[in-house]
Amino acid sequence: MRYSGFRVIAEALTGHKGWKPVWRDPDPKPDYDYIIIGGGGHGLATAYYLAKEFGQARIAVLEKGYLGGGNVGRNTTIIRSNYLLDGNEPFYEFSLKLWEGLEQDFNYNAMVSQRGIINLIHTDAQRDAATRRGNAMILHGADARLLSRDEVRQMYPWLNFDNARFPIKGALMQPRGGTVRHDAVAWGYARGADSRGVDLIQNCEVTGMRIENGRIKGVETTRGYIGAKKVGVAVAGSSSKVMAHAGMRLPIESHVLQAFVSEGLKPLIDGVMTFGAGHFYVSQSDKGGLVFGGDIDGYNSYAQRGNLPVIEDVAEGGMALMPAIGRVRLLRTWGGIMDMSMDGSPIIDKTHIEGLYFNGGWCYGGFKATPASGWCFAHLLAKDESHITARAYRFDRFLKGLMIDEKGQGATPNLH
């Protein structure tokens, strides 16, 4: 069924009796052409684009819990394409362009809101780096502006301009950056995939892979064996667990990233802002909560919860930047498991097992990548070759010394 304002009014007048389930709950079939493991944002987007853009059918998405229950449902909702390196920027810009047409494409209001993102600058060295980055963005067809201290002050006069330990000296802005209602992304893709015949199978955990003569045959699940011609894995923080079924070790560690929301407030912050002298970034949701975060906890974890030091560190950053929020209250904290890769950039690649494909290593940047990740993974699955914007996301880049290390931290996942 098609959603629209007229439909909402018509249903309101008739007691909302006409709304249909947004997706079915099918039982798994004995086999599929494509199995996507992981019913999060990336997996659902992959299935959606496989069906819609690449004309594929007989597709199933296997989700161990509920749809959208992974990082797509527990992030800070930011979208942007302000990357530096050639391996990354075209991909994230492709993603941003997909975001810009997404709601009309899948007929679901995910509240894609391009209210701008600013990365604050506190030193001359940061300004130099921002200049390099802003130029790289424009060279790749994205948008960027370098703001002076006064321009930042005009936007947010109540930031700490007068008594700061690390004074604000300007900002790199991407006007097209913004936020998206995260759950709605999962639901929109799920609805779009379901309506195109994709079987979305919840509470179905993959417990093994059947591999014969170097070729994948199917997967063992808590709901029985399911055969498949091709299997794509898009399970973020669970990447190492799932790929271990294929005997693979990955250049990935799983880490917990906490995120935070305050009580609802009348509008304070219009766009997205990152503090350049500490671990803090913030936006305000349409509902009024300040949504913010900081650094990962820093140790391998699958626990979906974090510890107090990071909460304090983030609050310190927030107070350093915005001295007015001392009496604003933290309402809720949560944690997601990040698939932190060895250079901070993702992998969308075939494996040495025929028919088994991998998508992961998103670190804490996976949400903004959702549309392009789905598109590029679908491209790889359908055509057996990388999408033009995802060609650098290969497994063998570490062997060949072709790392895509935005932060320059080397093989230390918890520093990316």
Which range, of 116-124, 351-359, 373-381, 382-390, touches other proteins by CB under 8 A?
116-124
Q: Using the rule CB under 8 A, is 412 a contact of other proteins? A: yes
Dist CA 42 CA 375 (whole Å): 9
CB-wise, 312 or 354, nearer to other proteins?
312
Residue found by looking up tokens 């979208």 in the block: 79
Residues 254-293 contacting other proteins, CB under 8 A:
254, 262-268, 277-278, 284, 286-288
Q: Using the rule CB under 8 A, is 338 a contact of other proteins? A: no
> Which run of H or of E encompasses 172?
strand 170-174
Q: Using the rule CB under 8 A, is 354 a contact of other proteins? A: no
Return the residue of 33, 155, 210, 311 that touches other proteins, per CB under 8 A.
311
CB-based contacts of 148-156 (< 8 A; 24+ apart in sequence): 152/118, 152/120, 155/118, 155/270, 155/271, 156/269, 156/273
Q: Using the rule CB under 8 A, is 197 a contact of other proteins? A: no
Which range, of 44-52, 220-228, 296-304, 354-362, touches other proteins by CB under 8 A?
296-304
Q: Token pair of 148, please? A: 């002076």
Least gap, CB of 111 to other proteins (angstroms): 7
Residue 301 contacts residue 270 (beta carbons within 8 Å): no
Return the residue of 71, 81, 88, 240 that touches other proteins, per CB under 8 A.
240
Residues 14-43 contacting other proteins, CB under 8 A:
15-16, 19-25
Give the list of residues 6+ apart from residue 284 with CB closer than 8 angstroms, or none. Answer: 265, 267, 268, 269, 270, 290, 291
Q: Using the rule CB under 8 A, is 150 a contact of other proteins? A: no
Distance of CA 9 to the CA centre of its chain: 33
Site string for other proteins, 161-180 (x = CB under 8 A): --xxxxx-------------
CB-wise, 53 or 313, nearer to other proteins?
313
Return the residue of 27, 29, 86, 383 that touches other proteins, per CB under 8 A.
86
Q: Using the rule CB under 8 A, is 107 a contact of other proteins? A: yes
Judged by CB under 8 A, how many residues of this single chain contact other proteins? Answer: 144
Residues 375-404 contacting other proteins, CB under 8 A:
397-403
> Which run of H or of E encompasses 210?
strand 206-212
Which range, of 98-106, 205-213, 223-231, 362-370, touches other proteins by CB under 8 A?
98-106
CB-wise, 91 or 230, nearer to other proteins?
91
Least gap, CB of 89 to other proteins (angstroms): 7
Q: Using the rule CB under 8 A, is 247 a contact of other proteins? A: no
CA proximity to 319, closest of 292, 349, 289, 348: 292
Q: Using the rule CB under 8 A, is 298 a contact of other proteins? A: yes
Dist CA 277 CA 234 (whole Å): 33
CB-wise, 352 or 383, nearer to other proteins?
352
Give the list of residues 6+ apart from residue 169 with CB closer than 8 angstroms, or none. Answer: 121, 122, 123, 124, 126, 127, 149
Cβ neighbours around 147 below 10 Å, total:
21
> Which run of H or of E encompasses 378?
helix 366-383
Q: What is the CA radius of gyration of the chain?
A: 21
CA proximity to 279, closest of 294, 289, 268: 294
Q: Using the rule CB under 8 A, is 302 a contact of other proteins? A: yes
Exposed, middle or buried, 14 (CB in 10 Å: 0-12/13-18/19+)? exposed
Q: Using the rule CB under 8 A, is 81 a contact of other proteins? A: no
